[in-house]
Structure 1
Amino acid sequence: MSGSHRFAHRRRRAAALALTTASSLLVLGVQGAPVSAAPADPGSGPSKIIATPRAGAAQPTLSPAARASLLKSATAKSGDTAKDLGLGSREKLVVKDVVKDADGTTHTRYERTYAGLPVLGGDLVLHLKNGRSTTSKATRATITVPTTTPKISADRAADKALSVGKAADVEKSEIEGKPRLVVWAAGSAKPVLAWESVVEGVQDDGTPSELHVVTDAGTGKVAAEYEGVHTGTGHGQYNGEVSVGSTLSGSSYQLVDPDRAGQRTYDLNQGTSGTGTLFTDDNDVWGDGTQANRQTAGVDVAYGAAATWDYYKDTYGRNGIRNDGVAAYSRAHYGNNYVNAFWQDACFCMTYGDGSGNANPLTSLDVAAHEMTHGVTSATANLTYSGESGGLNEATSDIFAAAVEFHSDLEADVPDYLVGEKIDINGDGTPLRYMDKPSKDGASRDYWDASLGSIDVHYSSGPANHLFYLLSEGSGAKTINGVDYDSPTYDNVPVTGIGVENAARIWYRALTTYMTSSTNYAGARTATLQAATDLFGAYSDTYLAVAAAWAGINVGDRIALGTNLSPIDDQLSGVGQDVSLQIEAYTTNTDSPLTYEVTGLPDGLTASSGGLISGVPTTTGTSEVTVTVTDGTGSTASDTFEWRVANIYGSSTRVDIPDNGAAVESPITITGRPGNASATTEVYVNIVHTYRGDLTVDLVGPDGTVYSLLNRSGGSADNVNQTFTVNASAQPVDGTWKLRVRDVAAIDVGYIQQWRITP
């Protein structure tokens, strides 16, 4: 599936859902006052934190042979890996990429198939270190569909896609090839069989269109749609006097970069297709800094491609956009009056327009780095271009646009935390986006809130851009390279920066190693904290700064210095049943041992020196338990919770539920308990079943009385995993209790996994 990215004006339609990392560098005018008010300035904060990344977490450049060997090995083991991960018999893993840390840790990224069909949104990463593995998954849903035979034909899906294209103002639209059958698992709790169609044509501003339409193969409804093409020694117009890679061919020179796998730069001559003409010159001196000289744009384009290649290779050992040593190519002078630039996965190329009147080309360094970074995102996490993950996709390109500027350190384009400032699209000297306070553009958000996923991804990128600035430079007013910034925080508490280089290193490792297509802001926080652990150590000053920067945009909490104790929920255990509860605690004081004190435990339970509570409860009742954790410096943290011990009876025998069939029952027999059950009898039910609205669930008492627990409620949500309370005081405790479940509608199936009763 191809993806493209453009630097562009906002289109007059709602943001579409995308599975690929399609994205754009949105061009817009300043719209007045900021849309979100910031708290008071927290001040500039302390000096930056200076730290050196851990050598073992580096990812050295792999030779083509070494990378091929890792891919071959992972492919050979993919069947066993699928079994180890508990995937179904109809699921297979397809290796997408493997990266290897200096300490030998490998991170293998997989796509997934079901019954031979691609699973869109089923990607995962397997991390293997010292024989132990962990995974990062795009979805936790069980991948299954009732049938792989579509009710809706491919032709009908194509017609639907064309109608969607027409509504999206795609001109000259036609279906590329034939729709392909897939399993759609992105953005939906319930995977469905679907058709994926690609509508090719032209968008309303002249940009090529690759509109992907996903149609439910059972109902004919559109499950998702997204646009695959999104806006977004020589003398350059923006980059000044720079070196460009060229190759002598006969008696003339060509813009073919021998040091970067032969990256080529073409002149499209105002065309909109093909590659155009390779830039050539008779004396290897290119451009004169003016738009009138066609080579000038070629210089900026070639330099942008080279600078982006060099940044990723010099900093992370990445060998090209896809890390496979293959060169992308670039095309300048696209169309007439085309005020955009875009990256396309389909051609693996970067394309630049000349702007209004063909006089203001979109060839600045941050445009090139922004758009080409979409190729890196596509080859790694492949962040879905919708909701919060779409905002993270956009922010990732802005983040590395800034990082490439600082790495290049050009005199003609001084590094900054502004986006698109050199091209001056609006004609008033304002940049397109501000990373220190995104709301200054009039539309972007400064902070996360629950509504963030419902707005355009160019504006939902704001909080992540803000995070990166805070993490790089810290909060408050300051002047950097002649530009004034004043960055607030959500909680009005200062944030200390760690420098742009380390901030970018952390984001890169999180993107390429831990993020998946469905990662949201909370998931990105987890991924960056794990990356900070790998690079600088858990609870190091750098790690704490990452947590503080996230808190600065209203995602998660700061981590307190000293001892930290994770909150412990109230506990419920059964008499005579094994208990194992590990207390989760840590200290930011490096190498300081923790001691645990636990008081008030129920009879039969004890706590180990390592904070593991275990044993077998012997007596019913409720206890108030207090846990106190102390580190070697005397720093302490405490938590108090209730621990209830009751007579609990359960069954973990699997019982399959037939589709639209007769009721099934799972029995539990209780003996030796005189008297009646409680008026607040608790029944815990765990049923694995897609579309829980198909189910009726009842408790049947020993005398046959039926208590309704669930009667087709919950709609399209999956599974039943909850505790019900019923008045069973008319029932004797002794006897056989039954959980009765019936599926009363077709298509979805499942099973009783376990249930428990506390009478």
Structure 2
Amino acid sequence: MTPRYPRHKRATLAAATAVAAGALISTGLATSASAQTPAGTAAKPLAAAPAALSAAARTSLIQKAQADAAATAQQIGLGAKEKLIVKDVVKDADGTVHTRYERTYAGLPVLGGDLVVHTAKSGKTEGVTRATKATIKVASLKPQITAAKAAQQAVSAARTLGSAKSTANGARKVIWAGSGKPVLAYETIVGGLQDDGTPNQLHVITDAATGKKLFQYQGIENATGTGKTLYSGTVSLSTTQSGSSYNLTDATRGGHKTYNLARKTSGKGTLVSNSTNVFGTGTASTSSSDQTAAADAAYGAQETWDFYKNTFGRSGIKNDGVGAYSRVHYGSNYVNAFWDDSCFCMTYGDGSANKDPLTSLDVAGHEMSHGVTANTAGLDYSGESGGLNEATSDIMGTGVEFYANNASDPGDYLIGEKININGDGTPLRYMDKPSKDGNSADSWSSSVGNLDVHYSSGVANHFFYLLSEGSGAKTINGVSYDSPTSDGSKVTGIGRDKALQIWYRALTTYFTSTTDYADARSGTLKAAADLYGSGSTEYNTVAAAWSAVNVS
């Protein structure tokens, strides 16, 4: 597994993420296919698109699925020691139900054993999408090494990656099925701090028989990344009045709250409040009491909620109508932002010299989309699945930016272009040609899975751009792009709206924790067939866009 950023000291972070010099070449104004649909407009309902479910209806479906779990396990061929635990349910407009399950074996969690059962309106099982095709069976449930030894090795692994003050919370027995033959293992979660100040949550999987490290991934999913905001101008925010003051609680979107950590690195901080219903100044400040970063974070959460609700019918990150919360002014000179599923929250640093908070619209959408991924496909944050995890956040963060249709931050296919993380005004990542950042992959190769997940994500980012806008040179919202293909082919895009629908359906219906790029091609083709028909223009373009990034 590679860490979120290469393990350099903070002083070299800019170099680690620096983009290559040079601009994209414009050959004149070209209108994107997706630009024909106004940003912020809900997509036309599709027969195989998810139906909007009330909280009561969703709960009822989950309860029924759990009540039938034993029968379902037997029907799909699981062994007598295996049980299913319902994680999520998606119901299509045509009545098809997709139930996502976690699995246990002899009472132990099976990591990499997740699966999705697809059931027609008639009740007939139409298929199963599995994270692993291996039969779950282990010879013995008695470990040969102690939990203490596994924990000790996990702490050593964290220190090797640059984590300071590393401590393990103990090791639990699991069945590891994420790769190879399923085995009895320990999972240890190591706390502490990563070398850039991000909280550590390193999950280390250790073979309980041999003591060999099998896998590791970082559980803190961090990235670079009204009020009078710094990045989005003056915007409307949904706030709450409490006595004679106002605070950043959005009761209309699941009760999302925005807190100020005031340079601390733990706790919730203080709920942002003011004597007037105006937050921020619209200008940069190095003060930890400044409310501008909070205004940006609250606006980003608001737009992300609305994007998912109006584009996919999803009510909140878990699709249960409950809002997460945001924390701003984390640490000092912290050049990052992260999603943490354990606190169900987003956290934003203030950047170099505490003057460039990482609270721009696409970063906010990126972080909360990590939460959506964690509560749907659960893509492992390592290797190719980790790249797909990161790309999903870039794709959805881009969708949020276009959806918001904000004149101060128009939609584009650049990631983090507002936050100046490189110190020279260049974006963090480019979706049309990912290699422009000097590190990311434009197309797939057998070594892509060895890259940092922010760089292996380039393959899927490039695919999404090609699917949306097509290859070649064009200008969209004033930004010039010139997207190549690995095979020299010409791709004509189907528009961003359709591309988003296809990616979201694949994520929530066909991706699992171990999905790699070949699986992603298969999943998105199935999604395109569901939504637009096998052999449709949309289906054929999905195939062409994957081929254009060397995924076949």
Superposition TM-score, scaled by structure 2 size: 0.92
Q: 1:278 aligns with which of 267, 271, 274?
A: 271
Q: How many Å apart are 1:384 and its aligned residue?
A: 1.4
Give the number of equivalent residue pairs.
534
Is 1:199–1:212's contact at 8 Å kept on the other side of the alignment? yes
Q: How does 1:215-364 map to 2 (within 5 A)?
A: 215-232=206-223, 233-292=226-285, 294-364=290-360
Q: Which residue of 2 aligns with 1:181?
A: 173
Is 2:187–2:204's contact at 8 Å kept on the other side of the alignment? yes
1:693-713 Cα deviation digits (max 9, x unpaired): xxxxxxxxxxxxxxxxxxxxx
Q: How many Å apart are 1:26 and its aligned residue?
A: 11
- In the alignment, the residues of structure 2 paired with residue 55 and residue 437 of structure 1 have an alpha-carbon distance, to the nearest angstrom, of 31
**Structure 1 range deviating more: 528-537 or 101-110:** 528-537
Is 1:331–1:349's contact at 8 Å kept on the other side of the alignment? yes
Q: Which residue of 2 aligns with 1:618?
A: none
Q: Which residue of 2 aligns with 1:400?
A: 396
**Structure 1 range deviating more: 534-543 or 366-375:** 534-543
Pair member with larger Rg? 1
Higher helix proportion, which one? 2
**In structure 2, do the counterparts of structure 1 residues 137 and 180 end up closer, same or farther at CA, with 3 Å as the change threshold?**
same
- In the alignment, the residues of structure 2 paired with residue 161 and residue 262 of structure 1 have an alpha-carbon distance, to the nearest angstrom, of 37
Q: How does 1:438-587 map to 2 (within 5 A)?
A: 438-556=434-552
Q: 1:55 aligns with which of 32, 46, 57?
A: 46
Q: 1:30 aligns with which of 19, 28, 32?
A: 19
1:414-461 Cα deviation digits (max 9, x unpaired): 110000100011121211111111111111111112222222221111
Q: Which residue of 2 aligns with 1:427?
A: 423
1:591-647 Cα deviation digits (max 9, x unpaired): xxxxxxxxxxxxxxxxxxxxxxxxxxxxxxxxxxxxxxxxxxxxxxxxxxxxxxxxx
- In the alignment, the residues of structure 2 paired with residue 26 and residue 375 of structure 1 have an alpha-carbon distance, to the nearest angstrom, of 28
- In the alignment, the residues of structure 1 paired with residue 45 and residue 356 of structure 2 have an alpha-carbon distance, to the nearest angstrom, of 44
Q: Which residue of 2 aligns with 1:81?
A: 72
Partner AA of 2:177 in structure 1: A
Q: How many Å apart are 1:524 and its aligned residue?
A: 0.9
Q: How many Å apart are 1:53 and its aligned residue?
A: 5.7
Which consecutive residues of structure 1, in runs of 5 or more, have no partner in the other structure? 14-24, 557-759
1:678-726 Cα deviation digits (max 9, x unpaired): xxxxxxxxxxxxxxxxxxxxxxxxxxxxxxxxxxxxxxxxxxxxxxxxx
Q: Tell me whether 1:415 sits opposite 2:404 in the alignment.
A: no
**In structure 2, do the counterparts of structure 1 residues 41 and 250 end up closer, same or farther at CA, with 3 Å as the change threshold?**
closer
Q: How many Å apart are 1:514 and its aligned residue?
A: 0.8
- In the alignment, the residues of structure 2 paired with residue 401 and residue 501 of structure 1 have an alpha-carbon distance, to the nearest angstrom, of 14
Q: Which residue of 2 aligns with 1:371?
A: 367
**In structure 2, do the counterparts of structure 1 residues 45 and 416 end up closer, same or farther at CA, with 3 Å as the change threshold?**
closer
- In the alignment, the residues of structure 2 paired with residue 46 and residue 276 of structure 1 have an alpha-carbon distance, to the nearest angstrom, of 45
Partner AA of 2:304 in structure 1: T
Q: How many Å apart are 1:126 and its aligned residue?
A: 0.3
Is 1:61–1:318's contact at 8 Å kept on the other side of the alignment? yes
- In the alignment, the residues of structure 2 paired with residue 511 and residue 360 of structure 1 have an alpha-carbon distance, to the nearest angstrom, of 32
Partner AA of 1:174 in structure 2: T
Partner AA of 2:203 in structure 1: H
Tell me the SS of whatever aligns to 1:181.
strand
Q: Which residue of 2 aligns with 1:67?
A: 58
Q: Which residue of 1 aligns with 2:129?
A: 136
Q: How many Å apart are 1:387 and its aligned residue?
A: 1.8
Is 1:109–1:123's contact at 8 Å kept on the other side of the alignment? yes
Q: Tell me whether 1:170 sits opposite 2:163 in the alignment.
A: yes
- In the alignment, the residues of structure 2 paired with residue 343 and residue 9 of structure 1 have an alpha-carbon distance, to the nearest angstrom, of 15
- In the alignment, the residues of structure 1 paired with residue 242 and residue 60 of structure 2 have an alpha-carbon distance, to the nearest angstrom, of 35
Tell me the SS of whatever aligns to 2:114.
strand
**Structure 1 range deviating more: 215-224 or 244-253:** 215-224
**In structure 2, do the counterparts of structure 1 residues 454 and 27 end up closer, same or farther at CA, with 3 Å as the change threshold?**
closer
Q: How many Å apart are 1:291 and its aligned residue?
A: 2.5
Tell me the SS of whatever aligns to 1:208.
coil
**In structure 2, do the counterparts of structure 1 residues 46 and 450 end up closer, same or farther at CA, with 3 Å as the change threshold?**
farther
- In the alignment, the residues of structure 1 paired with residue 71 and residue 499 of structure 2 have an alpha-carbon distance, to the nearest angstrom, of 37
Q: How many Å apart are 1:12 and its aligned residue?
A: 4.4
Tell me the SS of whatever aligns to 1:399.
helix
Is 2:221–2:370's contact at 8 Å kept on the other side of the alignment? no
Is 2:5–2:452's contact at 8 Å kept on the other side of the alignment? no
Tell me the SS of whatever aligns to 2:388.
helix
- In the alignment, the residues of structure 2 paired with residue 545 and residue 158 of structure 1 have an alpha-carbon distance, to the nearest angstrom, of 48
Q: How many Å apart are 1:162 and its aligned residue?
A: 2.0
**In structure 2, do the counterparts of structure 1 residues 41 and 412 end up closer, same or farther at CA, with 3 Å as the change threshold?**
closer
- In the alignment, the residues of structure 1 paired with residue 26 and residue 359 of structure 2 have an alpha-carbon distance, to the nearest angstrom, of 35
Is 1:42–1:492's contact at 8 Å kept on the other side of the alignment? no
Partner AA of 1:82 in structure 2: A
- In the alignment, the residues of structure 2 paired with residue 44 and residue 365 of structure 1 have an alpha-carbon distance, to the nearest angstrom, of 25
Q: How does 1:635-646 map to 2 (within 5 A)?
A: none
Q: How many Å apart are 1:163 and its aligned residue?
A: 2.0
Q: CA RMSD in A?
A: 2.5
Q: Which residue of 1 aligns with 2:40?
A: none
- In the alignment, the residues of structure 1 paired with residue 474 and residue 15 of structure 2 have an alpha-carbon distance, to the nearest angstrom, of 27
Q: How many Å apart are 1:316 and its aligned residue?
A: 0.7
Is 1:436–1:469's contact at 8 Å kept on the other side of the alignment? yes
Partner AA of 1:256 in structure 2: T
**Structure 1 range deviating more: 228-237 or 368-377:** 228-237
**In structure 2, do the counterparts of structure 1 residues 48 and 276 end up closer, same or farther at CA, with 3 Å as the change threshold?**
closer
- In the alignment, the residues of structure 1 paired with residue 488 and residue 44 of structure 2 have an alpha-carbon distance, to the nearest angstrom, of 29
Q: Which residue of 2 aligns with 1:629?
A: none
Is 2:220–2:341's contact at 8 Å kept on the other side of the alignment? no
Tell me the SS of whatever aligns to 2:58.
helix
Q: How does 1:378-389 map to 2 (within 5 A)?
A: 378-389=374-385
Superposition TM-score, scaled by structure 1 size: 0.68
- In the alignment, the residues of structure 1 paired with residue 333 and residue 529 of structure 2 have an alpha-carbon distance, to the nearest angstrom, of 48
Query: Higher RCO, 1 or 2 (CA under 8 Å, sep at least 6)?
Result: 2
**In structure 2, do the counterparts of structure 1 residues 267 and 41 end up closer, same or farther at CA, with 3 Å as the change threshold?**
closer
